[in-house]
Amino acid sequence: MSREAIKQRFLEINGDHPMTAEDDAYVTRQFRVLDELCAEQGRDANEARRLMLAGKLPMPGYLRSDGAEMVPADLFALADQTDELQAWFVAQWSDVAEGNDEWAAYLSGRYVCLHSVTPTTIKRKGQLIEAIKATTDPVDLKPLVDELDELEPEFTAYDRLRFGGPVSRDVYINPFKSSTSAAARPVPSN
């Protein structure tokens, strides 16, 4: 499958937002170029693109300004575990509709909010955000924020454009990690 088809699908999912030099540097640190990852693992990059477009592998998380398709280093980890990835993935949720929604989100490539994208980390992130929203005691809040901080990368300005505003790190981590005491910070309501 062609790079052009991946680019078109990526733009349908994320919109057309410019990548800055800082964005490119960030994604180069956090992600791998699809062609290079495939070459290192003895895989065919065009087959990976075909699987992405067929809804069997996640789309790239980013397209660098030079057109490089940027993917997580563990792109193939879940697919290598089972031939029935979709059924296995969806079954990780007790609510099938929620599992299907998460499968669609996984395939979109937009789970750039986690260092490693698995059903376990997806669910844990949601649990931590709900706990942070509900917690008012700074002593109880700190370990929740620290754990979420470990799950999430830093994000880039591009993410704030494509997601239409602040990312989860901006709302649930950074306000509590600043030099101001967590006790002086209100718990976000959203």
What average pLDDT does the segment 117-123 reach? 96
pLDDT of residue 136: 87
pLDDT in tens, 4-45: 999 999 999 999 999 999 999 999 999 999 999 999 999 999
**Mean pLDDT (the chain, rounded):** 92
pLDDT band at 2 (very low <50, low <70, confident <90, very high): confident
| pLDDT over 50 at 172, yes or no | yes
φ/ψ of residue 70, rounded to 5: -100, 125
C-alpha pair distances (Å), 153 with each of 30, 56, 78, 149, 166 = 8, 25, 20, 8, 14
Contacts of 96 (CB under 8 A, 6+ apart): 90
| Range 122-138 average pLDDT | 95
Residues 81-118: tens digit of each pLDDT: 888 999 999 999 999 999 999 999 999 999 999 999 99
Residue 183 has pLDDT above 50, yes or no: no
Q: What pLDDT was estimated at residue 120?
A: 96
Q: Which distant-in-sequence residues (6+ apart) come within 8 Å of 128 by Cβ? A: 144, 147, 148, 151, 172
The whole-number pLDDT of residue 184 equals: 42
Q: Among all chains, which residue has been given the structure tokens 């509900």?
A: 134
Q: pLDDT band at residue 175, thresholds of 50, 70 and 90?
A: very high
